[in-house]
Structures are given as C-alpha cells and as structure tokens.
Amino acid sequence: MLERLGVNTRDANLKTENVAAVMVTANLPPFSPQGTRIDVTVSAMGDSESLQGGTLLVTPLMGADGEVYAVSQGSVSVGGFSAGAHAMAHKNRSRTLRELRRFDEALEAVSRAVELRPDDSLLQLELANALRDEDRFAEAVVHYEEALRQEPNMLAALCNISRPLREIGRLEESQTMLERALEVDPDCPETYINLANLAFEREDHQEAVDLVEKTLTLRPDYAEAYNVLGRVLGAEAMNEDAIAAFQKAVEISPDFAEGYVNLGSILQTIGQPERALQVYEIALSLKPKMDMAYWNLALALLSCGRLEEGWSLFGYGFTSKQRQPYRPFPGLLWEGGDLTNKTILAWREQGLGDDLRFSTVYHDLVEKAGHLIIETDPRLVPLYQRTWPEATVRAETNTSTGLGNMPNVDFDVTAPAGMAASYLRRSLDAFPKAPKPLTPDPERKQACLDWLASLGPGPKVGIAWRSRLMTKTRALYHTDLMDWAELLNTPGVVFVNLQYDKAEAEIIDAKRKLGVTVHQMPDLDLFNDLDGAAALTAALDLVVTSPTSVADMAGALHRPTYTYAMSQHPMALGTDTMPWFPDMKLYTTISKGDHSDLVAQMTRDVQIHLSSLKD
C-alpha cells in the first residue's frame, strides 16, 4: 500500500518504527461544496503514543454507505495534542468503529477516552452505553453511576442505567432511577418504556401495556415500545399478536438485534423453528456476541434435527443465563475427550425433567470414565444411586471452583448433564439401541403393586394433566382433568393420580361430574418423595400425562407413556418421538389453547393400547 502511494519501503535507512496505522474521522458539514477544507481527527490504532509531526498519506474518508466523500492528507496536529482532544479522538474513533460493527475495538477506544478524561460525564455515559450493548451489565452500572455522580440530573444516564440494574437484579434501584428521570423530564419516552420493562418483570402486564401506550403517544415509531408490547403479548399467550408487534419493532429499527431474537423465540413457540433460524441469523449479523441469540439458535437447530450444529452451541444456555444453576469451573470443563482413568463430576441443570432426561447418558459415563460422581436434586439421590451403584451420587451443592466456594475438588473434569449429553448424543445413531431404565426400589414397587391390585381388576393407568407452575403461556400446553372425561370413562380401567401438587379438588370434581374415581396412593407425597413416585410409576401399566417431569420419570422408567409437547420440540431432535425414551409416544400441539383434537386422538390411541392389555 505504501509503495503504491510512492513511499520507498525498501530503503535500508527507512525507520519502520515511525510508521503507524491510524483512524481518520471527520464531521462533514451539510451541503459542503467540492473543494471545502475541513479539520479531521487522526488517532493511532496501535501502540503509538504520539502522531505529533507525522504526515498523513492520502486517505479517502468513506461514509457509512461506503461512498468516498472527502480525502485527507498532510501534516498531523501542527498545533499539538491536548488530553481532551486526544480523548475526543478516541470517542470519535469508537463511534466510527461501532458503525463498522467492530465492537471490540470500539469499546477499547471509548475505554481509552475515559482513561484520558475520567471526569467527563458524557464519556462515562458513552462507555456505559457501550458496555450495556455488549451485555456487560455490572460494568455498565459502574460507569453510569460515575456519570451520575458527576452530573446527578443527566437524563440519559438515569434512563439507560435502568436495564443494567434490572439485569443484575437491582430492581428497586432501577425503579428509583426512572422516577428521578421523570422528575427531570416527565415526557421522556425512554423513561416510560423502561418502566414498562420493570412492570413486565413484575408480571404486571396491564401496567406494562399502559406504559407502552404512553410511550407511543410520545414517540409513535419507537421500536423498543413494540418490542416490550410483543413480550407482554407473548406472556399472555397471544402469539400471533406478539409476532406482529416484534415485526413492527424490526421494521422501525432494522438493526434491532433483540427484536429479532424475540421474534424468533415466538416463532419457535408456535412450532416454526425454520423461520426462527433465519431471524436468529439476522440478529447475530447485527450483534455477533449476543449469547441469547446463540442459545435460541441452538434450540432451533436441535428442533430442525441439525444436532451437530445445535449441540455445539448448547453451552450458550449458561452464558445467556437461561440454564441454571451457574457453576463455573475454569479449566475443568469436560469437552468430550477421553475419560480413561479420570473422575468426572456430572451435575444437575435446570429442573427435574431435564435432570431425568439427561441422566440417560450416565450409563455412558460409567463405562467411559474411571469414576463418575453425580450431583443431583436430593430427592433423586436414592433412585440414582440404585441405578448407578458404581458411581458416587450426592446431593447438589451449587458450589464451584469459579465461584471460589468449592473446598474439595475430588474430580478431574466436570460437566453439567445437558452438556455431557451434547457430546454423547451428537447424532441419532449415538442413542443406545437397548437403553437401560432407572431402577426403582424393589420393596416399594412391590408395595405399590399390592395396593394397585387392591383397587380391583383392569389395567392401571397413571394420569397427570398440568404443570405445578401455571402461567397463561404454560396453560397452552396443559389441560384440565375434565378434558380427559372420555378417557376416564373407559370401562374396566383403574386410574391413578400422578399429579404431584394439590389435586384433591379437581379429583373430587371429576368424581362428582363423571362418577369416576382417580385413586391416590395413601401416604405418598408425589412431590417430595420421588423414590416413592418412581416405585408407583414403575408399577403402572401405562401413563398419560401433560409435558411435565411426570412424563420424563415414566419415560426414564421405560413405562409406556403417552404425552405431548410443542410442535418440533428441541429435545425431539427433529423427530416425531423423544429419542431419550424408547417407550414414549409423543404428540404435538399447536399453541392456541384448544386441546380437544389432541385429547381425542390420544384417548383413541390409549384405548387401543388398553384393549390389547385386556386381551
């Protein structure tokens, strides 16, 4: 490049240490005629401490559209540098780099500007905004607070600090900052939309909608307002309306990465992962380090049966804080390598259903590792210890080396159960042809068989119909006991309750309306006594259940299980079954709340199955 510009680079006397790569920026006045002279800002991109006295080679200055609008050349900074000018150069460079989507360099530049002028509240704000946009919320709060220390009534800082405070769990402080912002400017749309976000976090959906409406009166084309509206509508199970809101958000602001992610999430919810994939790709082109987009992309890829790609991104569930508990183990995470003569700690992630599903890979780990340690929900310890007697099974501690609270590291490598599965179930062929079930307590199972026999002849069918935690969105995937009236009226069948929370009122209501008894095993706490729940489930002929941990327990025990899930569920891995559980029959439901066709189809199939048992 230098030679093309007439600079001799082969001269032995050439001092290359005096050559620096620079960023040149300028603010071009509007309607500038050709030949207008303007000042430019030149800042080093490397380690150069000073460009004083240097000569700028011919440099085209391009706009965001790629067109060349000016050319700069000549001596650099004849008047010398001041710290303030130097800081502004870094600030301008940061903005240019952000336009070029070189976010790491942009953040470095504005950080350098703050180092040079830490007492500049606007620079503190600029750095805080950059950190916020990179989801580095705790760091962003520090610089927002510094900006507000210097300028207590800075409206932008009062508004913008709200989300980082919300993300790190300081909700009351977030509310306080927004109330201060309203005192400064009662008509600021950013304040109202941040208040709407807080209302959404409190699950006060009506207040959130009211605040969105207030925002839109102040700024009709505000993408974030439609984004919040979409989240509220999604939480209210109004999925088509939510899609329209998110589409409006990205129509207004085509660079709105979060809007695309939320749109993709709703598309996945209604069973359209292929469309969601396209949307996530757009989000990541706009924000390449967006952990939430990668996590949602992983789920969509798994839904489409693209296991290798989906599992490769599965770890983003933790970096995006969507999978819990957070237990960092720097340098100790297993990445699928050889486990010969090594001890591996596998630990529970997410809820009971995920725990049971991913436990199916523990058989592999027992064979591959020198020793397996399992940390799980205390309620599952006896069941798991019985199933894997070679392993050490203990109650989870939620400690880790990364958190500095694990005093005894008695393993060589570690992995959350889902991550272990991501390495061991890389394809459908990796699922065992003859998987092994969980092992219930034989004495307790026999006691359950004796009790079931006392209920009279006929197949014994376990039933569960809803989740313990019900929201409007979850309600789309769950039923009422009375929805199963036709099944419950099947002659010669004994129904047994597997609903693990307070279901007495519903069972009594079914008895009153249908004359059918759903039996409850005496003295068995289905929620807290999971070893007992496993024994009862193992003693049943068949299980019919909504998509809860009851289905995973029955599947892991290899009982014939009839259940359903959202269309193209990620854990179906692109199939119409649950590859984790060979005895499970999976149905899909469209999220519109009417389960009549689904229940009717399941009832017919279960009755056919039951007739074969009677024969």
Phi and psi dihedrals of 596, rounded to 5?
A: -60, -45
| Site of tokens 């710290």 | 83
609: left (phi over 0), alpha (psi -120 to 50) or beta: alpha
Query: Do 19 and 56 touch, CB atoms closer than 8 A?
Result: no
CATH architecture of the domain 118-319 equals: Alpha Horseshoe (1.25)
Task: State the Cα–Cα distance between residues 40 and 415, nearest whole angstrom.
Answer: 53
Write down the pLDDT at residue 118: 80
For the chain, state the CA radius of gyration: 31
- SS3 of 78-126: the string is CCCCCHHHHHHHHHHHHHHHHHCCCHHHHHHHHHHHHHHCCCCHHHHHH
CATH architecture of the domain 343-430 equals: 3-Layer(aba) Sandwich (3.40)
- Residues 102-133: b if buried by 16+ CB within 10 A, e if exposed: ebeebbbbbbbbbebbeebbbbbbbbbbbbbb
Write down the pLDDT at residue 602: 94
Write down the pLDDT at residue 112: 78
Task: Give the max Cα distance, the chain.
Answer: 103
Burial of 64 (0-12, 13-18, 19+ CB in 10 A): exposed
> CB-side exposure of 31: number of CA atoms within 13 Å?
0
Instruction: For 333-378, write each residue's pLDDT tens digit.
Output: 999 999 999 999 999 999 999 999 999 999 999 999 999 999 999 9
Long-range pairs of 103-109 with CB within 8 A, sequence gap ≥ 24: 103/130, 103/133, 103/134, 103/288, 103/289, 105/45, 106/130, 107/131, 107/134, 109/43
Q: What's the full length of the chain, in residues? A: 615
Q: Do domains 118-319 and 343-430 have the same CATH topology?
A: no
Give the single-character DSSP code of 476: T
Task: State the Cα–Cα distance between residues 343 and 341, nearest whole angstrom.
Answer: 7
Burial of 82 (0-12, 13-18, 19+ CB in 10 A): exposed
CATH architecture of the domain 442-614 equals: 3-Layer(aba) Sandwich (3.40)
Domain ranges of the chain: 20-91, 118-319, 343-430, 442-614
Phi and psi dihedrals of 262, rounded to 5?
A: -65, -35
Residues 6+ apart with CB under 8 A from 123: 87, 91, 110, 113, 114, 117
Low-confidence spans in the chain with pLDDT less than 50: 1-14, 78-85, 470
Task: State the Cα–Cα distance between residues 549 and 70, nearest whole angstrom.
Answer: 65
Where do the DSSP E strands lie in 337-418?
343-347, 371-376, 392-395, 413-416
| Site of tokens 């807290």 | 528
Instruction: For 19-55, write each residue's pLDDT tens digit.
Output: 666 666 666 655 555 555 666 676 665 555 555 556 6
Neighbours of 8 (CB within 10 A): 9
Q: Please state whether the peptide bond connecting residue 560 to the residue before it is cis, i.e. omega within 30 degrees of 0.
A: no
> CB-side exposure of 250: number of CA atoms within 13 Å?
21
First to last CA, the chain: 86
Identity of residue 113: A
Task: State the Cα–Cα distance between residues 576 and 586, nearest whole angstrom.
Answer: 7
